[in-house]
Amino acid sequence: MDTLLQGFMQIANVSTIVWMAIGSIVGIILGALPGLTATMGIALMMPISFRLPTATGIGLLLAVYCGAVSGASIPAILIGIPGNPNAIVTVEDGLRMTKKGKAGQAIGGAVVASFIGGIGSMLALMLFSPLIAKFTLAFGPAEKATLALVGLAIIASVSGDNIWKGLLMGAFGMCLAFLGTDPFSNQLRIPFSKYLATTPLSKGLDLTSTLIGLFGVSEVFIGLKKSFVGGQHVEPVKIDHIFPPFKKILSMWKIILSSLGIGILIGAIPGTGASIAVFMAYNMAKNIAEHSNGKLEKLGTGALEGVFAPEVANNAVTGGALIPTLALGIPGDSSTAVLLGALIIKGVTPGFQLFTTNMSLVYAIFITLLIANIFMALFQLLGVRLYPKVLEVPQQILLPLVLILSFVGAYAVAGQATAVGIYNLGIALVMGLIGYFLKRDGYPIAPIVLGLILGGMFEENFRRAVKLAGGNYLTFFTKPICLLFMALAILSIILPIIAKKRGKR
Amino acid sequence: MKRSAIILSLLIALIVSGTFSAKAVAEAIYPDPEKNITIVVPHAAGGGTDLIFRKLAEEMKKVSGVNFLVTNITGAGSATGTNEVINNEADGYMLLAAGTHTTAATMQGLTDGYKKLDYIAALNWDPFIVAVRKDKPWTSLQELVADAKSRPGKISLGNAGMGGATGVASVGLNLAFGKVFNVVPFNGGADLIASVLGGHCDVGIFSQSEVVANINSFRPLVILSEDHSPLASLASVPTLDEAGYPEITVPGGSFRSLMVKKGTPEVAKKWLADTAEKAFYSASFQKFMKDNGLIPAFYKLEAFAEYDKGIIADYEVILKEAGLYKMTN
Amino acid sequence: MTLFRTRKPLPFVFMVVSILYFIYVISLGSSTMIGDEIGGDPGGMMLPLVLSIFMFVASTILFLTDKKPQEAVQNSRGTSEQRLFLLTLIVAILYVAAMRPLGFIITTAMLVFTLIFFYLQGTVVRKDVATWAVGTVATLAVLLALYSIGRVISRYLLLSARQGRIPQWLGSTGVVAGVVLVIVLVLYYLLYKLTRTRFHHERVPVAVSHAFDACMISAITTELIYLVFRQMFLVELVPGLITW
């Protein structure tokens, strides 16, 4: 109790609150702008945090982190471009809700969901840190490879009506993931490697630029399909029922809890991240909704459930990723890696020792995480009535603006590196065209993204696991977690097919 | 018509005044106090290399008043970030966080690397430590090697990635011990720690701070440097000599330095080297190095170029022997 | 070619892609780890090969099963939409290609102006080209004026703060960007108020009004992007021709 009080005293000052408020606003803006990621924002704020007391500095960084993760849902819902990879899945139902005229509800719901995810994961961090950290270590290369397999099995559920289209897209995405350098031999795996070796292509496709191309740039070309002539009638956007009714939230308790659990666990496993967690949470929510006897809306139709699942999950990742960071000194994702660095520069050694020698700082970090989540929800709600105004801009003007924002976003991923930035522009344009042709013929885009995210993770860990076992491919069948995951992967492919057949009868 | 004329002249006046006054201010000598100087770190944010340069950038900002930024460009070992510096202007506004990773990447033919870079300042060494989890049976390097020799290929030796310095060190060690270890590359230091702590990989090559963070769970076997660690908690870890292998030489740590693209004006290079020197010897940076067990090795400009020749010579032998050497010309 | 009349081209494209990918992977050869005699690495060829075969199978199945609907809804666009599509494509490619020599500011303003202008016009026709050219020049003029004023102010603030003439916090990145943002927005608002009515009444041709709107929007959009991304979040935008 004494340490808790000490921790509280470390941050009970005006400067902490002010800096965290600034961090939160900066984070939300950063998240909402395509291409600027949470990791980049934290790295950008690091020099400021050096000059502040440790707890205040970490609070500032956490505020940026939470804000950026949640702010990314705004453009995803309004114009279908995920602000950063955390919000890929939010596009699915979020954009559909907007098209139904429920943009306000979607954004409001996303804020509430983010808040639930953030607070839930904070509680997990406070109460179960040592336990989850231990569990995290059970994840070796073999386990991660099979985890990636479970993720890939989700392709079936995000493929729309034709499963072959989904599978083809998933395979295509994985092939794209293999571009770049071989993780084991550092050999180049790019076409015309003789000439392109020193170009940024040697590191493969950048995920964020690819996403922006597939989602944003392609949307502009598709928007051109409709004629502008005759002056488009723009409907004024109605903003009502921003807060989802309490009853509605209660009815979704299964979705919320499962998304929370997925977010925390995936966040806590190093080498994974929010982009995987959101897909898994969405898939789980889809199954839950299908077996709810009509109490919940079907996902993929513009349902609030479809916004809730990924938004709870991606904010749950924040607390989850902090677990191994604080308890073991192993960052759960790239954002927490920077946080860890900030702690080390401050002279604090995270890891087991932190909990025994400097518990008051740990408590201070917990409390700042709570404040960060409150600020995140507060500042986003202040703007909820404002953001949807974007939709009142006529298409002729909105489309070029979407295009330029997409381009700038793809470019900005590289930060100060202009050569990489221009290369990313090229990726966004090419991916935009590919995305346009695919969408036009009814091919789903989400499996490409899944393949791209999981392809590299699967290949690397698969090879590492086999190598560790001295070339024995059966190693996957000797580990209980792997067996469980493989069973899960198979089930998640088979069950929907059975359900569909039953439905037809 | 009168109104439009007014507007037009106003606009022209704005442009002319704006352009010229801005241009006048811009005509300053290096460094333009308003421009940012970027340090490209070819490794992920939050890692060991990144932290050193973030701290250094902070100090360089303090001593010079110019804004130093750190940007992380990862990929292809460290080649993508190196190429970014090489592909940009040689104007002195972009520095590379170079070091042994640059040497390794250049020799593996992933980038033109040091052939197209100029020397600014050498900074420090972070010696590697070979460690195992506490509950493993080996209490010394000799026990470990003896066990590995009795069942070749069964004991795994992890590194943080083939392109980097730990990759070269692990391959070098394996060659020295008769290729009895199963060398496995991981995706960065964090991935390696988690795998060794989780028991998925037997032995790992770490930097000191990584071992210190988990000192309760790790048993350090040997430090790959000539002297003992400057850190109190690791000071008792034996060197290769003391562990019974005086004949073995491996590049035993990661070395960090600052480089710029070849052809950068001498004035800029000198200014950068002097600024780096002041920042390096600042009390705060010295304390940071001490806290993290970094061994200082400051050289600037020509002296650094001389120093790097020794590192290149050491690396060439091991990379050639390991079959990793692919540099052409 | 009756095959293509009833079937969609995309699966065929993917069949070709997967075959090319297969050949490419084979030609690249497997790359296993070097300097390691123990082995056990499956190599870099395995998964790409499996995937290329899988892609081929999946695309073949789609090629055979996914037929065009009977009524063949030819969603053919009108010529004006086709022209706009082509224009967008060309402008986008030029944007990426011209970024390095011309710089971020100029290319961005031209891209946004060109697209908004022609989208508002609803098509691309020869007689609009003159208006477009004048509009482009006007856009660049307005933008450069805003940009240069912003630069002068921010340089002044940054330098004075470093030399200690004004308090340190006034010269911090965020504050400078904020101050410039406010001043630029006020100036822009005044300019817009002063000029708007001149370009929006019945005697002005529609094309000119559209060019005016496009000019105003593209200038402020580019400047805002510059201020937020470059000055606030320190993203290095290619300077190109604008070196000050």
Q: Residue type at A178?
A: F
Instruction: With beta carbons under 8 A apart, name residues in chain B contacting C147.
Output: 18
Is the per-residue pLDDT at C90 higher than 90?
Answer: yes
pLDDT digits (tens, 9 = 90+) for C35-75: 556 667 777 788 888 888 988 998 888 888 876 655 444 55
- State the smallest CA–CA distance between residue A502 and chain C in angstroms: 23
Question: Are residue B182 and residue B168 in the same domain, yes or no?
Answer: yes
| Domains held by chain A: number | 1
Letter string b/e over residues C117-139, b meaning 16 or more CB atoms within 10 A of that residue's CB: bbbbbbbbeeebeebbeebbebb
Q: How confident is the model at residue C7 (pLDDT cuts 50, 70, 90)?
A: low
ipTM of this predicted complex? 0.90
CB contact B312 to C (< 8 Å) = no
By the 8 A CB rule, do B170 and B205 touch? yes
* Structure confidence at residue C235 as a pLDDT band (50, 70, 90): confident
A340–chain B Cβ distance below 8 A for any pair: yes
How far is B138 from C49, CA to CA, in rounded Å? 41
CB A331 within 8 A of CB A325: yes
- For residue B155, is it left (φ>0), alpha (ψ between -120 and 50) or beta? beta
CA A84 to CA A35: how far, in whole Å? 6
Summarize pLDDT for C179-207 with one digit per residue, the tens: 999 999 999 999 998 888 888 888 888 88
How many Cβ atoms are within 10 Å of B8's Cβ, its own excluded?
11
pLDDT above 70: residue A485: yes
To the nearest whole percent, how much of chain A has pLDDT over 90?
Answer: 17
Beta strand pairing status for B94-99 and B253-261?
Answer: antiparallel
Q: B198 and A137 in contact by Cβ < 8 A? A: yes
Indicate yes or no: CB of C33 within 8 angstroms of CB of B162: yes
Chain B: give the shortest CA distance to residue C180, in Å: 14
Q: What is the pLDDT of residue B329?
A: 57
Nearest one of A442, A451, A440, A443 to A172, comparing CA atoms: A451
Whether residue B56 is contained in a domain is answered as yes
Percent of chain B with pLDDT over 70: 90
Instruction: Say if B31 falls within a structural domain.
Output: no
Res B26: pLDDT = 43
Helix intervals (H) in A346-417: 352-357, 359-383, 395-412
Which residue is closest to B148 within chain C, CA to CA? Answer: C38
Taking contacts as CB-CB distances below 8 angstroms, the residues of chain C near A75 are none
Of residues B189 and A422, more confidence is placed in: A422
Distance, C-alpha C43 to centroid of its chain? 38
A204 touches chain B (CB under 8 A): yes
57-86 in C: which are within 8 Å (CB) of A? 58-59, 61-62, 65-66, 75, 77-78, 80-81, 84-85
pLDDT of residue C36: 59
Are both B74 and B86 inside the same structural domain? yes
Q: Are residues B86 and B185 in the same domain?
A: no
Give the per-residue pLDDT at A231: 47
**Best of C233, C234, C237, C238 to mutate (most A CBs within 10 Å, chain A):** C233
Is there a single domain that holds both residue B158 and residue B225? yes
Percent of chain C at pLDDT > 70 equals: 89
Check CB contact under 8 Å for C38 and B322: no
Q: Does B182 touch chain C (CB under 8 A)?
A: yes
* Alpha carbon separation from C38 to A263, B181, C43, C177 (Å, rounded): 38, 7, 13, 58
Q: Cβ contacts (< 8 Å) between B183 and chain C: which residues? A: 33, 35-36, 38
- The pLDDT score that the predictor gives to residue A493 is 77
Q: Is the pLDDT of residue B6 over 70?
A: no
Parallel, antiparallel or unpaired: strands A180-181 and B253-261:
unpaired
Write the CATH number for B282. 3.40.190.150
Mean pLDDT of C156-182: 83
Query: CB-based contact (8 Å) between B183 and chain C?
Result: yes
pLDDT band at B188 (very low <50, low <70, confident <90, very high): confident
Number of CB atoms found within 10 A of residue C6's CB: 10
Q: Which helix (H) or strand (E) holds C58?
A: helix C46-65
Answer whether C35 sits within 8 Å of B183, measured CB to CB.
Answer: yes
Q: Find chain B residues with C-beta within 8 A of A200's C-beta.
A: 75, 80, 83-84
Residues of B in contact with A357 (CB under 8 A): none
Cα B42 from chain centroid (whole Å): 8
> Taking residues B320-328, what's their average pLDDT?
73
Quote the pLDDT of residue B1: 44
Closest residue, chain B, to C188 (C-alpha):
B11
Instruction: State whether residue A474 sits within 8 Å of chain C by CB.
Output: no
Q: Which of B234, B274, B294 is nearest to B55 (CA)?
A: B294
Side chain identity, residue C156: Y
Please, is A205 exposed, middle or buried when counting C-beta atoms within 10 Å of its C-beta (0-12, 13-18, 19+)? buried
Say yes or no for a CB contact (<8 Å) between C38 and B26. Answer: no
Residues shown for chain B: 329
By DSSP bridging, strand B117-133 and strand B295-300 are antiparallel
Least confident among A315-329, B5-19, B156-170:
B5-19
Residues 6 or more apart whose Cβ sits within 8 Å of residue A211 = A82, A85, A88, A449
What pairs with residue B260 in β-bridges?
Answer: B118
Q: Does B69 touch chain C (CB under 8 A)?
A: yes
Give yes or no for a contact between A420 and C99, defined as CB atoms under 8 angstroms apart: no
What is the distance between the alpha carbons of residues A200 and A421, in angstroms, rounded to a whole number?
9
Record the tokens describing residue A35, joined without a space. Answer: 């291409």
C49 touches chain A (CB under 8 A): no
What pLDDT, on the 0 to 100 scale, is given for residue A311? 93
pLDDT for C5: 59
Residues β-bridged to residue B30: none
Is B83 inside a domain boundary?
Answer: yes
Which chain C residues touch B33 with a CB distance below 8 Å? 158-159, 162
Give the nearest partner residue to A420 out of B84, B161, B182, using CB atoms. Answer: B84
Q: Given this model, what pLDDT does residue C4 score?
A: 56
Which tokens in the block code for residue B173? Answer: 């060690």
Of the pLDDT bands very low, low, confident and very high (cuts 50, 70, 90), residue B27 is very low
pLDDT, tens digit, 9 for 90 and up, residues A328-363: 888 888 888 888 888 887 878 777 677 777 888 888
Q: Does residue B251 have a cis bond before it (omega within 30 degrees)?
A: no
Residue to mutate among C19, C65, C119, with most A CBs inside 10 A, is C119
- Tell which of C146, C148, C191 to mutate to test the B interface (max B CBs under 10 Å): C148
Contact A417 B71 (CB under 8 A): yes
Give the residue extent of every domain in chain C: 2-65, 98-232
* pLDDT, tens digit, 9 for 90 and up, residues B115-163: 888 898 988 888 899 999 988 899 888 888 889 889 888 899 998 887 7
Mean pLDDT for the stretch of residues B38-51: 83
A61 lies within 8 A of chain C by CB: no
pLDDT tens for A65-81 read 999 988 889 988 888 88
Check if the beta carbon of residue B64 is closer than 8 Å to that of residue B108: no
CB-CB: which of B3, B18, B36 is closest to C149?
B18
In terms of residue numbers, what domain contains B131? Answer: 127-234
Give the whole-angstrom CA distance, residue B260 versus residue C66.
Answer: 56
Instruction: Answer yes or no: is B19 within a domain.
Output: no
Q: How far apart are CA A152 and CA A280, in angstroms?
A: 10
Whether A164 sits inside 8 A of C228 (CB atoms) is no
Burial code (b: 16+ CB inside 10 Å, e: under 16) for A259-284 equals: bbbbbbbbbbbbbbbbbbbbbbbbbb
Distance CA C169, CA A48 (A): 12
Mean pLDDT of A283-290: 86
Query: Is B15 close to C141, i.e. CB distance below 8 A?
Result: yes
Which of C14, C55, C108 lies at the smallest CB-CB distance from A404?
C108
CA gap B140, A252 in Å, rounded: 56
The answer to which of B9-23, C133-147, C163-177 has the lowest mean pLDDT is B9-23
Instruction: Tell me the residues of chain B between 268 and 307 that have a Cβ less than 8 Å away from chain C.
Output: none
Domain assignment of residue B174, yes or no: yes
Which residues in chain C have their CB less than 8 angstroms from residue B179's CB?
A: 36-38
C15 to chain A, minimum CA–CA distance in Å? 10
Q: State the total domains in chain B.
A: 2
Residue A230 inside a domain? The answer is no
The upper half-sphere exposure of residue C195, i.e. CA atoms within 13 Å in the direction of its Cβ, equals 22
Closest CA of chain C from B182, distance in Å: 6
Has residue B245 been placed in a domain?
Answer: no
Write the pLDDT tens digit of every residue in B288-298. 888 888 888 88
pLDDT of A505 strictly over 60 = no
**Residue B31 and residue B92 in contact, taking contact as beta carbons nearer than 8 Å:** yes
pTM of the model: 0.86
A455 part of contact set with chain B, CB < 8 Å: no
Q: Distance between CA atoms of A135 and A331, rounded to whole angstroms?
A: 15
Q: Which residue has the higher pLDDT, C159 or A170?
A: A170
The C-alpha R_g of chain C, in whole angstroms, comes to 27
- Average confidence (pLDDT) over C86-99: 92
One domain, residues B131 and B223 = yes
Residues B131 and B142 reside in one and the same domain: yes
- Contact, B301 vs B119, CB < 8 A? yes
Residues of chain C neighbouring A429 (CB-CB closer than 8 A): 92-93, 96
Q: Are residues B170 and B209 in the same domain?
A: yes
Interface probe for C, chosen from B9, B19, B23 (most Cβ of C below 10 Å), is B19
C14 touches chain A (CB under 8 A): yes
Q: Coil, strand or helix: which one is C57?
A: helix
pLDDT score, position C32? 64
In a shared domain, residues B132 and B145: yes
Query: Nearest C-alpha of chain B: how many angstroms from C9?
Result: 36
User: Does B293 share its domain with B207?
Assistant: no
Cα–Cα distance measured from residue A9 to residue A5, given in angstroms and rounded to the nearest whole number: 6
Collapse the DSSP code of A354 into the 3-class scheme (helix H, G, I; strand E, B; otherwise coil) and give the result.
Answer: helix
Per residue in A249-282, pLDDT (tens digit) is 888 888 999 999 999 988 888 878 788 899 989 9
For residues C62 and C56, the answer to whether their CB atoms sit within 8 Å is no
User: H helices of A213-296, where?
Assistant: 218-223, 246-251, 253-268, 274-290
- Assess if residue A229 is contained within a domain: no
Per-residue tokens: A129: 């840190």
pLDDT value at residue B131 = 92
Q: Give the structural domain span for A182.
A: 2-224+237-504
Q: Helix (H, G, I), strand (E, B), or coil: what is residue A480?
A: helix
B183 to chain C, closest Cα gap in Å: 7
Q: State percent of chain A over pLDDT 70.
A: 94
Model pLDDT for residues B220-262, shown as the tens digit of each residue: 998 988 888 888 888 888 888 888 888 887 878 888 999 999 8
Please check whether residue A232 lies inside any domain of the structure: no
The residue that leads in pLDDT, C7 or A247, is A247
| pLDDT score of B283 more than 60 | yes
- Asked if A220 has any chain C CB less than 8 Å from its own CB, the reply is yes
Mean of the per-residue pLDDT values for chain B? Answer: 82
Q: How many contacts (CB atoms, under 8 Å) link B and C?
A: 84
* Whether B152 contacts chain C with CB within 8 A: yes
Is B242 within the bounds of a domain? Answer: no
Residues B210, A43: C-beta atoms closer than 8 Å: no
Subunits close to C (at least 3 CB pairs below 8 A): A, B
Two tokens, residue B203? 């032995």
